[in-house]
Structure 1
Amino acid sequence: MNLFEEYSYFDYKFPEPQYLGSKYTHRQWISKFIPEKAKVALDAFGGSQSIAFLLKQMGKQTITNDFLKFDSEIGKALIENPYERLEEDDLNILFSENQDPNNFNLMENLFTDLFFPQKDATFADSVRSNIPRLNSQYKQALALTIMCRSMTRKVTMGHFAHTQAMNYASDPARIKRNRSLIRSLKSLFMELLPKYNAAVFDNGKENKSYNEDILELLPTLHNIDVAYFDPPYCNSHADYQSFYHLLETYVMYWKDKKFVNGTKRYEPKRHSGFDCKDEAKKNLETMFSQAQHIPTWIVSYNDRSYPDIDTMVKMMKLFKDVRVERKPYINSRGGKGSVAGSSEILFICTNKQE
């Protein structure tokens, strides 16, 4: 029997992400290693939230976290949110006139003719001005999530680390392959809306989405049965802030940042602690030490990352028995860490046997 058939919550479908490094395609493989008896699960680096959604589908009380705000809003919309969806009255609010054009003009000023034509940029600003008018934090999170997903549909490769978006959107060959490049943000939003509304469900547990530094959050969490760790793969396309800076800018709607380089990335970036070699190993060691009270860890990794596999095993063996599972990439999926010939790694870490 397919494991996914054992849980009634698998009738709900996670909206397919467009996110470098997303574990969406690995969900069934990862699910095999999640202890059935575990009641409370932590996804420490939620990202696209596809694994947190898997944990929720499995009936676990799910705690998800990401230090980027736009990722934590996906968690609020689809993990923490038990039942609220965007209705017609909400859309009337979202699509009404800009509430404050003098203050809600960031997208137009920064990204017009860089990632979007002016009409789409001004639409994004207008929606952003109206999101706080929605009467629920979960509806607000859903609106932010769908807008962010709509914006990734408008650019090739679904990220914002290159400046060719508008050139690609005028290339007939690329448009033929991906007509989203010339569709309006509003039409993309309306296409995505039913998928996100349909993904909202109540698994009967009190789930939670955090927007914290995991090294600060872990010591405050108790009674976690299984933790899933998917840290940035240092040396293997770990700079998600550069890839998705526009989405973080949209959600945070900064007025006090500098916007640098050709893509108008915000500066200074948030401090990750896991994406630079001089910090990654030390912070992984700290994280494992802080998590030693959690009975089971499932750690996603890649065999092209730093520290290497043997070093990771040595660090974790200080606290747990460790088993290494490997899933080779047959085809390249985009990103240095998922090219053909590399492998996705799972470290299955359990309490030491006496």
Structure 2
Amino acid sequence: MFKYPKVNYIGNKEKIAQWICDQFPKDAETLFDAFSGGCSLSYEAKCRGLEVYTNDILEINYHIANALIKNNKSLLTKEDIDIIFSGKPFEGFMFDNYSEVYFFPEECKELDLYRKNIEKLDSEEKKSLAFSLIRRAMVRKMPYSRFNLNWDKIVQLRDEEYSYEKYKRRRAYHNQSFKFHFLKNLDDYNNAVFNNNKENNAYNDDVFNLLDTVSADIIYLDPPYTGTMNNYFGFYGLVDDFITSKKTKPFENNFINKKIAVELFDNLFSKLSNFKYWYLSYNNSSYPSKDELLYLLNKYSDNVQVIERKHVYKITGKEKKETNKEYLFIVKNELPQKNIKKNYATAEL
């Protein structure tokens, strides 16, 4: 059995992906993971032989999907690694914009070199693997594994003596090089690539732009949980900046604002006629509530059920663990599905 590699993604469903996929109907052959994030659910579905289409509005999440879901065989070789890490670090986009913002100046120059070199790789799948591994390295060097701390706090938490005095852990991995972390995780990412003999695909778009053009037996919805730690652009948008060499902007339809969350969900549910089965993940600490979501879903189907289980969330950098109920809403769409041809086109970046 192939193994999903370490991705470090807040809200990742890695621990409950098997439980979710166990609920899928036996007659389902295709899955659209509309908010794919770190791709743990898509990866489990791919392992089970489903044809999987992923989507995420963050570009780095598209690359994770392109590397692990769409990609069937491309691996990073020794020659590729030599290309990525050859040459002299230089002052480029990351140095100009993020020195002493998230990383030290020399580290930013290294990132500028690696970004330039990744473009020399001979396939899009290899580039996506490289971006995914650089992301993993960037996250490992960042306290709390997210890019929303100020520089003074980052410097403080990367001080191993301070970390030991405060938390009884030195966290030396924050000060290992990008190359160290890249190489440490290389085999796990390469070994995670496999062919399930399906035409899997990856998209990088606002989900509302795809609901009329992508069809599948199942749509799995795992949007940001409104009212919780759900600012994914704030957590990981820096990696998109690294990839695009420009400062990206927060996206709309982000499920962060409580004032429009119900409207967004209602609009989303109203556009799912391409899918026979709908699966929605949510929890009891989020807004809207379970009853409010059931009310919205019942507007579009008379066949709605919700199952739940306890799920432990570990917030990186804190000792406290919060136990919540994880909900899985399951809808059978009784309306006729649109006869729309599946779109296998490569996502445009």
Q: TM-score, normalised by structure 1?
A: 0.87
User: Could you tell me which residue of structure 2 aligns to residue 309 of structure 1?
Assistant: 290
Distance (whole Å) between structure 1 residues aligned to residue 67 and residue 306 of structure 2: 33
1:3 corresponds in structure 2 to none
- Residue in 2 that maps onto 1:7: none
Aligned to 1:128: 115
1:14 to 4, 29, 39: 4
Q: What are the within-5 Å matches in structure 2 for residues 160-175 of structure 1?
A: 160-163=147-150, 164-172=153-161, 174=163
Q: What is the distance in 1 between the residues matched to 2:309 and 2:321?
A: 12
Contact 1:273 1:279 in 2 (8 A): no
Structure 2 letter corresponding to 1:192? N
CA contact (8 A) 2:75 2:190 kept: yes
| Residue aligning to 1:157 | 144
Q: What is the TM-score normalised by the length of structure 2?
A: 0.88
Q: Is the 8 A contact 1:98 1:127 kept in 2?
A: no
Give how far 1:139 is off: 0.4
Identity over aligned residues, as a percent?
30
The 2-side partners of 1:109 and 1:170 are apart by 24
Deviation at 1:293, TM superposition (A): 3.5
Aligned residue number for residue 342 of structure 1: 324
Match of 2:267 in 1: 286
2:237 is matched with: 245
Is 1:202 the counterpart of 2:202? The answer is no
Distance 1:117 1:296, change over 3 A: same
How many angstroms apart in 2 are the aligned matches of 1:205 and 1:341? 37
Contact kept in structure 1, 2:102 and 2:154, CA below 8 Å: yes
Count of residue correspondences = 326
Matched, 1:65 2:55: yes
* 1:351 matched to 2:333: yes
1:210-254 alpha-carbon deviations (Å, 9 max, x no partner): 0011111011113x1111100111111221111112112112221
Give the whole-Å Cα distance in 2 for the aligned partners of 1:184 and 1:228. 37
CA offset digits 1:104-136 (Å, max 9, x no partner): x12222333333233322111101011111110
Q: Determine the structure 1 residue equivalent to 2:124.
A: 137
Structure 1 unmatched runs, 5+ = 1-10, 258-265
Q: CA deviation at 1:349?
A: 1.3
Tell me the equivalent position of 1:116.
103
1:81 equivalent to 2:71? Answer yes
Q: 1:44 aligns with which of 31, 34, 58?
A: 34
Is the alpha carbon distance of 1:306 and 1:116 closer, same or farther for their aligned partners in structure 2, counting shifts above 3 Å? same
Amino acid at match of 2:333: N
Deviation of 1:16 after TM superposition, in Å, equals 2.1
What amino acid sits opposite 1:162 in the alignment? L
